[in-house]
Structure 1
Amino acid sequence: MRSFEAALRSLRDRVIAQIVDADSVEDVVHMAQRRAIPRDGTLEDGTRYSVHGIGCWMADTRGREADVDIDEKGPRDLRRLAHFHALGNCFRRRRQSGRHSRGMPPSR
């Protein structure tokens, strides 16, 4: 679980640092919903994000990825922990096969 938490913190920090006026993933989601920023994008350092419904998927150039949902209580990062570990190497296998759940190309 520590590897997921570290990846999530790193991804979140990278996205927030590069999107002007975003102080949280929740801000990123709300900004995209208001069309203040694109729903999908690649940031200066190569980090990618994709806002979907009530959440945001993020991936870095090292292939780490996280998907965060937002509800009335705020971000629900930790709900993904059990799912992340249950999948094991699923994300790595999906990247190697060229498939990706969010329709974005795998990182190279």
Structure 2
Amino acid sequence: VGSHKQALFISGGVTSNTINPVESEKQVSAGNRVTLSCRYTDSNVWLYWYRQYPSSKLDFLINIHDSGSLGGSPLPGFSAKVKDKVVNLEISSTAVSDSALYYCAVEILSDL
């Protein structure tokens, strides 16, 4: 009898007029790919993903400009994409240790 380990992904915590999670939670079996999504409204923005374990600080995962340019090197196994005012965080192969609260955030750049 095989055991089916699950990872629970909860997007949210950051809700505003400019960015909101598409789903409130997702459950996937360990080893599978998962995509978390947030919808945003503004243009010329940097979009950020963070992960938080219970009673821990936020851990930065990845950031991406709405033009599609990554802001640096993402953690291994994580990628981000933007399309049609939705920013996706993709985890290529989930582990039980990925069970956490995931936050999306937006930085609106001023037009100077």
The two structures have a TM-score, normalised by structure 2, of 0.27
Q: Name whichever structure is richer in strand by fraction.
A: 2
The two structures have a TM-score, normalised by structure 1, of 0.28
Question: Between Structure 1 and Structure 2, whose CA radius of gyration is higher?
Answer: 2
Higher relative contact order structure (alpha carbons within 8 Å, sequence separation ≥ 6): 2
